[in-house]
Chain A
Amino acid sequence: MENKEALVNYCLRIGDSSLVLAQRLAEWCSNGPMLEEDIALTNISLDLFGQSRMLYNYIAELNGKGETEDSIAFGRNERAFYNVLLSERPNGHFGDTIVRGLLVDAFNFHFYTQLQNSKNETLAAFAEKSLKEVTYHLRHSSEWVVRLGDGTEESKEKVQASLNDLWKYTDDLFEMNEDDIVLVADGIAIDLTAIKPLWLETVTSVVKRATLTLPENGYMHKGSRKAVHSEYLGHLLCDMQYLQRAYPDAKW
């Protein structure tokens, strides 16, 4: 395969974003506002872990160097992780988590809708399966944004602040680099500039239903395509990778 390296990088980006967000959502376990939400957030987390595992296994197969899903997840440092910046944002309060969810889920929904048509059969099948899952994720986050936005004065104020805070990480979702250019030309990857208006339309309609205000576009943080992250990621990885790092010879 000619553009194997670009394809591997592309899969890492998707897989890492799922993994890091899954790890974040799992932190809600026993901390949800009600048991039903512990269960719902765990469901989403489990779906995302599943997605990352599929892509890591595919990467291992593409590289053919004896890697495993675990060596890929637990063996890399923060400067080799390509997850989008939103995925590593701390959970904050429930409203922060829900808004982060909406922004990522809306992206994933449109991204996987289009990736189903990828000429790479593995990615197309992966997208088809993932779309079913993220459709539910998007419904979950949208309904909660509406409830919180149109709930009480307090919840409206909180969730509006979450939206304003997280907005500055949204352009990072749509960054494209040389890998995208090569793979888009081959019909494998998705042109993210075409996704952006669809994403904005979905987010805008939820924000409107929630009686919230769409933030102004100010300064936008980027960097995930170059694996340049916030300080939060290193701590998340420390925690996640501790046993594999401490006992490299052990099988679990």
Chain B
Amino acid sequence: MSDLDKFLKKIENNVKIEPKDWMPDGYRKHLQGQMSQHAHSEVIGMQPEGNWISRAPSLRAKVILLAKIQDEAGHGQYLYSAAETLGKSRDEYINELQTRKAKYSSIFNYPTLTWADMGAVGWLVDGAAIVNQVSLQKTSYGPYSRAMVRICKEESFHQRQGYEIISHMALGTPEQKEMAQDALNRTWWPSIMMFGPHDADSARSGDAMKWGIKVESNDELRQRFIDKTVQQAELIGLTIPDPDLKWNEERGSYDFGEINWDEFWAVVNGDGPCNDQRIDHHIKAHEEGRWVREAANAYAQKNN
């Protein structure tokens, strides 16, 4: 049996692929891209939420938010380590991020304008991420699958915390309710875009499904997210900003309106409201920390 046949046999039998196993070049490249994109998303995602740490409205809310962002830093660290098993270093991955060869989730290119956005991000963005990550627990690459198992446990806390923030506001003063609805209006469409293009337009999906990297399609995951989220909005009296949203008895799912793919591709290709800001921020922190990393290396070399 050829290496490729053995590899495909493992995928077929749900045996995880491990770092030292033979794998097709395309499989390795696809995973390097996807896992580093995932790691970068965790790290860049610290910025829009970090925007509100200093202004959190209660000490309790502040420590919950800070701990959440700390979890994300931990996820980033963990995912970079998992991605390093594919033969590329964290430094190389970070360089690709900073030179814009690598992507991260486009949702983080939108600004967080009010405290209600901390609710909307936790509820919708983490909510969408969980749907995707639960599915990825079954992915064929061992280190990625194990990272997802660990990360999903923490993400479900984040989603509940986000929902708690937006619930308090939706059920609070008129001003708070207005902020909550506004945050939903701004975050809804970008969050359902997080699942990527429709299956028919998703160029790389085919190989990823064949190799067991992806186990469910973009549209399946998006539908699952919408179906579970609509009721949560209704429960706290918020309106999903989609006039075409309607329960479809036959399908047992919600029908929804047309996604603005022009906006999606504009943001993916660098023209979102915060793309430049996010990358500039990352580069600035990285450059300002250079002398510190150099000192730590020099000290370690002198003392080992």
A and B: real partners?
yes
- The answer to whether A69 touches B59 (Cβ under 8 A) is yes
Q: How large is the interface on A (under 10, 10 to 19, 20 to 34, 35 or more residues)?
A: 35 or more
B302 in the interface, Cβ–Cβ < 8 Å? yes
A56 and chain B: residue at smallest CB distance:
B59
With A30-B50, A30-B285, A45-B66 as contacts: A151 and B176 at CB distance below 8 Å = no
Q: Is the CB of A46 within 8 A of B67?
A: yes
Q: Report the count of interface residues on B (CB-CB < 8 A).
A: 46
Q: Give a binary string over B73-114; 1 marks a CB under 8 Å from any A CB, 0 the rest.
A: 110110010000000000000000000000000000000000
Q: Mark A145-176, 1 if CB is under 8 A from B, else 0.
A: 01110111011001000000000000000000
Cβ 8 A contact of B54, one of A35, A151, A239? A239
Residues of A within 8 A of B70 (CB): 29, 38-39, 42-43, 46
Q: How far is the CA of A26 from the CA of B62 in the complex (A)?
A: 10
Does residue B168 face the partner (Cβ distance < 8 Å to A)? yes
- Asked if A242 and B295 make an inter-chain contact with CB atoms under 8 angstroms apart, the answer reads no
> Which residue of B is nearest A45, CB measured?
B66
A155 B74 Cβ-Cβ under 8 A: no
Whether B292 is near chain A, meaning CB under 8 Å from some CB there, is yes
Q: A151 is contacted by which of B77, B172, B299 (Cβ under 8 Å)?
A: B299
Q: Assess whether B146 is interfacial by the CB under 8 Å rule.
A: no
Contact yes or no, B54 A240, CB < 8 A: yes
Q: How far is the CA of A54 from the CA of B56 in the complex (A)?
A: 18
Q: State in angstroms the CA–CA spacing of A50 and B62 once bound together.
A: 11
**Cβ contacts under 8 Å, A70 to chain B:** 58-59
**In whole angstroms, how far apart are the Cα atoms of A252 and B80 in the complex?**
35
At the interface, yes or no: B293 with Cβ under 8 Å from chain A? yes
Docked CA distance A32–B176 (Å): 33
Are B292 and A33 in contact, with the CB atoms below 8 A?
Answer: yes
Q: Is the CB of B173 within 8 A of A35?
A: no
Assembled-state Cα–Cα distance A152/B298 (Å): 6
A84 to B262, CA, bound (A): 53
Provide the main secondary structure of the chain B interface: helix
A73 interface contact, C-beta 8 A: yes
**What is the CA–CA distance of A26 and B66 in the complex, to the nearest angstrom?**
8
Contact present for B69 and A42 (CB under 8 Å): yes
With known contacts A26-B54, A38-B73, A46-B67, A155–B295 Cβ distance under 8 A? yes
List residues of chain A with CB within 8 A of the CB of B53.
26-27, 29
Residues of chain A with a CB closer than 8 A to B67's CB: 42, 46
The answer to whether A29 touches B292 (Cβ under 8 A) is no
In the assembled complex, how far is the CB of residue B147 from the closest CB belonging to chain A, in whole angstroms? 15
Q: How far is the CB of A63 from chain B (nearest CB, A)?
A: 17
Is A23 part of the binding interface, using a Cβ–Cβ cutoff of 8 Å?
A: yes
Residues of B near A34 (CB, < 8 A) are 289, 292-293
A117 at the interface (CB under 8 A from B): no
Complex partner residue of A247 from B47, B63, B175, CB under 8 angstroms: B175
C-alpha spacing A55/B61, complex, angstroms: 18
Known pairs A33-B289, A38-B73, A147-B299; A250 contacts B172 (CB<8 A): yes
CB distance from B257 to the nearest CB of A (A): 32
A85 to B175, CA, bound (A): 37
Contact with A along B260-302 (1 / 0, CB 8 A): 0000000000000000000001000100111111111011001
Given the known interface contacts A247-B173, A247-B175, the answer about A30 and B55 at a Cβ–Cβ threshold of 8 Å is no
A43 to B176, CA, bound (A): 31
Judge whether A252 and B63 touch: CB under 8 Å.
no
Is B252 engaged at the interface, CB distance under 8 Å to the other chain? no
- A50 to B292 CA separation, bound complex (whole angstroms): 29
Residue numbers in A under 8 Å from B55 (CB-CB)? 239-240, 242-243
A137 in contact (CB, < 8 A): no
Q: Is the CB of A46 within 8 A of B66?
A: yes
B176 contacts which of A30, A52, A247 (Cβ < 8 Å)? A247
Residue among B62, B73, B302 making CB contact with A49, cutoff 8 Å: B62
Alpha-carbon separation in the docked complex, A151 to B299 (Å): 5
Q: Which of B60, B61, B292 contacts A148 (CB 8 A)?
A: B292
Other A-B pairs beyond A26-B54, A146-B299, 19, CB < 8 Å = A26-B53, A29-B46, A29-B69, A30-B50, A33-B293, A35-B73, A42-B67, A42-B69, A46-B66, A46-B67, A49-B59, A94-B289, A151-B296, A243-B55, A250-B172, A252-B58, A252-B61, A252-B169, A252-B172
B residues with CB within 8 A of A: 43, 46-47, 50, 53-63, 66-67, 69-70, 73-74, 76-77, 80, 115, 165, 168-169, 172-173, 175-176, 281, 285, 288-296, 298-299, 302
